[in-house]
Structure 1
Amino acid sequence: MADLYHPETRAIQLVDVLGALGHPVRMEIIRALADGEERFCGEILPAEPKSSLTHHWRALREAGVIHQRRAGRKFYITLRRADLDTRFPGLLDLTFAEPTGFDKPDSK
Structure 2
Amino acid sequence: MVAMQALPHPERDEIRIEAVLHALADPVRLRIVRELALRPDGVSCGLMDLGISASTLTHHVRTLREAGVVFVTPRGTSRISSLRREDLDALYPGLLNGVLAAPR
What TM-score, normalized to structure 2? 0.88
- Summarize the alignment of residues 34-53 of structure 1 with structure 2, pairs less than 5 Å apart: 34-35=37-38, 36-53=40-57
What TM-score, normalized to structure 1? 0.85
Cα shift at 1:2? 4.5
- Summarize the alignment of residues 1-108 of structure 1 with structure 2, pairs less than 5 Å apart: 2-35=5-38, 36-99=40-103
Cα shift at 1:46? 4.9
Q: Pick the structure with more helix per residue.
A: 2
- Runs of 4+ in structure 1 deviating by more than 6 angstroms, as ranges, are none
What is the DSSP-based 3-state SS (H/G/I as helix, E as strand, rest coil) of the residue aligned with 1:99? coil
Percent same amino acid at aligned positions? 44
Deviations 1:40-96 (A, max 9, x none): 111123521000011001000000000001123211110000000011000001101
Query: How many aligned residue pairs are there?
Result: 100
> 1: CA distance between counterparts of 2:100 and 2:69?
14
Uncovered stretches (5+) of structure 1, i.e. residues with no partner = 101-108
CA contact (8 A) 2:64 2:70 kept: yes
What is the DSSP-based 3-state SS (H/G/I as helix, E as strand, rest coil) of the residue aligned with 1:77? strand
CA contact (8 A) 1:29 1:45 kept: no
Uncovered stretches (5+) of structure 2, i.e. residues with no partner = none
> 2: CA distance between counterparts of 1:23 and 1:49?
16
